[in-house]
Chain A
Amino acid sequence: MPLTASPSTTLLPDSDGQEYQYTLNFGPQHPATHTTLRLILTLEGETIIKAVPDIGFLHSGFEKLGEDLDFNQYVTIVDRMNYISPVANEIAWHHTVEKLLEIELTPRCKYIRTILAELARISDHLLCIGAAALDLGALTAFLYAFNEREKVYNIIEEASGQRFHPSYTRVGGLMNDVSDKFVELVRDFVKTFPPAHADVVRLLNRNRIFVDRTKNVGVLTKEQAINMSASGPIARAAGVTRDLRKDEPYLAYEELSSSFQMVCATGGDCYSRYLVRMGEMMESLNIIKAAIENLPSGPINVTADGKYTIPDKSSTYRSIEGLIQHFELIMWNRKFDTPVAETYGANETANGELGFYLVCDGGNHAYRARTRPPSFIHFSLFPMLIEGHQISDVPAVLGSLNIIAAELDR
Chain B
Amino acid sequence: MNEQTQSVLDKYQGKYTPYTHLNDQYVSLTASESAEVLYDLLKSLKEEAGYDYLCDIAGVDYLTYPDAEDRYGVIYALVNTESGARLFVKAHANDPAPTLPSVYELWNGSNWMEREVYDMFGVTFQRHPDLRRILMPDEFVDYPLRKDYPLRGLGERHSMPSLTRAES
Contacts and interface: CB of A to CB of B under 8 A. Distances in A.
Contacts of B132: 6, 9
Contacts of B167: 2
B55 A372 contact: yes
A370 interface: yes
A380 B111 contact: yes
A9 B161 CA distance: 20
Contacts of B81: 226, 240, 242
A248 B53 contact: no
A368 B22 CA distance: 18
Contact of B112 (A4, A102, A377): A377
B107 interface: yes
A379 B108 CA distance: 13
Interface stretch (B7-15, B91-99, B137-145): B137-145
B151 A64 contact: yes
Contact of A370 (B58, B109, B110, B135): B58
Interface in B87-125: 88, 107-113, 116, 120
Judged by DSSP, the binding face of B is loop
A342 B24 CA distance: 10
A61 B109 CA distance: 23
A56 B134 contact: yes
Contact of A227 (B24, B61, B75, B108): B108
B134 A344 contact: no
A56 B136 contact: yes
B112 A376 contact: yes
Given A3-B161, A380-B109, A226 B22 contact: no
Contacts of A180: none
B109 A377 contact: yes
B163 A2 contact: yes
A336 B53 CA distance: 34
Contacts of B139: 1, 3-4
B90 to A, nearest CB: 9
Contacts of A100: 22
Contacts of A368: 58, 60-61, 145
A228 B55 contact: no
A344 B137 contact: no
B134 A55 contact: yes
A355 B86 CA distance: 13
8 contacts: A56-B134, A59-B136, A65-B151, A227-B52, A227-B107, A342-B60, A357-B75, A361-B66
Interface of B: 21-22, 24, 52-56, 58-61, 64-67, 75, 77, 81, 84, 86, 88, 107-113, 116, 120, 130, 132-139, 144-145, 151, 161, 163, 167-168
- Please name the 7 residue pairs, one residue from A and one from B, whose CB atoms are nearest each other, closest first: A229-B109, A370-B58, A357-B58, A56-B135, A372-B56, A228-B109, A380-B112
Given A353-B55, A357-B77, 7 more contacts: A3-B161, A227-B108, A346-B55, A355-B55, A359-B60, A361-B66, A377-B113
